[in-house]
Amino acid sequence: MTTEFNELLPPFGDKSSTDKSQIWIIGTRDQVIHTINEFYVKRIATDRIKFTPIVPAPFAAGKYMTVLER
């Protein structure tokens, strides 16, 4: 990361009550959909609405991503 990006990050240990852990799912569109369904069946995610919409991954050509916020 560049210094400009590091300055945007909060100080280490500075957690607000809104901070949540995230699980990033990256792969082909079919892999992402399969993993979302698997997380729902295994009750890792209680509702599919907890996932962000599937979007093309900006850092990997041909890959898609979603984020599960817990």
Residue 55 has what pLDDT?
95
Q: Give the pLDDT confidence score for residue 69 in this predicted structure.
A: 86
Global confidence as pTM: 0.70
Instruction: For 7-22, write each residue's pLDDT tens digit.
Output: 666 666 555 556 788 9
DSSP state of 25: E
What are the DSSP calls for 34-59, one per residue? HHHHHHHHTTSSS-GGGBPPPEE-TT
